[in-house]
């Protein structure tokens, strides 16, 4: 299969057996870490767990893009799309966490009465976002293409 997306190609980098071996090891390692943090987040959806998961998923994404040459085109495209989508959801959740913290530190005294209404809205949105993230994470860990990175480390035929 030809590599059509030049965006992810590094000048001078050629597909080789050592590169293939490195890609299998690194992608497996990064994805295992993502799965561990997904389990942790599903058990406790704290701000810190969301933040750590987001970092780990970004690292997996960047590693996937770096080893583009070593991954089947269709597998690369589908997993990258799912990864980016989850990163968007995690980014929204992180933005809500940061906004809540900033609002809490900004409102004091007589302005505090407005805080309850704002936080009622934010809490509803927060719960909605967390539930969507959890659903998408469960779909991600069950996805057959994502799991191909574990199964026999069969990335490119």
Residues 47-56 have pLDDT tens digits of 999 999 999 9
**Given a cut of 70, is residue 139 above it in pLDDT?**
yes
pTM of the shown model = 0.83
Confidence label for 14 from pLDDT (cuts 50, 70 and 90): low
Q: Report which DSSP code applies to 67.
A: T
In this prediction, residues 120-125 reach a mean pLDDT of 90
Left if phi > 0, otherwise alpha if psi is -120 to 50, otherwise beta: which for 135?
alpha
Integer Cα distance of 89 and 42 in angstroms: 15
Q: Pick the more confident residue, 79 or 7.
A: 79
């Amino acid at each position: 299969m030809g590599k059509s997306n030049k965006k992810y190609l590094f000048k001078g980098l050629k597909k080789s057996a050592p590169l293939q071996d490195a890609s299998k090891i690194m992608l497996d390692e990064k994805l295992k870490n993502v799965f561990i943090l997904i389990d942790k987040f599903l058990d406790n959806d704290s701000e810190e767990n969301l933040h750590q998961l987001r970092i780990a998923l970004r690292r997996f994404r960047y590693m996937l893009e770096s080893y583009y040459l070593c991954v089947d085109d269709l597998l690369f495209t589908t997993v990258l799309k799912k990864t980016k989508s989850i990163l968007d959801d995690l980014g929204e959740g992180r933005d809500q966490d940061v906004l809540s913290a900033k609002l809490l530190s900004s409102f004091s005294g007589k302005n505090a009465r407005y805080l309850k209404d704002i936080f009622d809205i934010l809490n509803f949105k927060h719960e909605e976002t967390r539930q969507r993230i959890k659903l998408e994470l469960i779909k991600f860990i069950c996805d057959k293409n994502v799991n191909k990175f574990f199964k026999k480390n069969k990335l490119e035929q």
